[in-house]
Amino acid sequence: MPEANLREEIKEMMVENLMLKVSKDEIADDLPLFGPGGLGLDSIDALELVVSLEKKFGVSVANSETARQALASVNTIHDYVVANRK
């Protein structure tokens, strides 16, 4: 799958599964997903995102430190999926 398409799929999954009030086109690839100045996701969103990644892409996130690094932005999610896809 081309990288741009994978990033778009990740954004679509986030908007749909997390019921975000923004469109996928409003989410920059390097926008921080958590904390002030970013998308403002919280720990519940992180759990839902991990489950969605496992279902859609077949990747598992082993622990909270891995999740913190992998879920920082669309770019980091993309890189994690590419590296860990089964």
- In this predicted structure, what is the pLDDT of residue 86? 75
Within 10 angstroms of residue 43's Cβ, the number of other Cβ atoms is 10
Per-residue pLDDT of 42-74, as tens digits, reads 999 999 999 999 999 999 998 999 999 999 999
Q: Which of 33, 26, 31, 24 is nearest to 5 (CA)?
A: 24
Assign domain 3-84 one CATH number from 3.20.20.70, 1.10.1200.10, 1.10.10.1590, 2.60.40.1930.
1.10.1200.10
Verdict on whether the full-model pTM lies above 0.95: no
pLDDT for 2 beyond 70: no
- In this predicted structure, what is the pLDDT of residue 4? 73
In the chain, what percentage of residues exceed pLDDT 90?
A: 88
pLDDT for 1 beyond 90: no
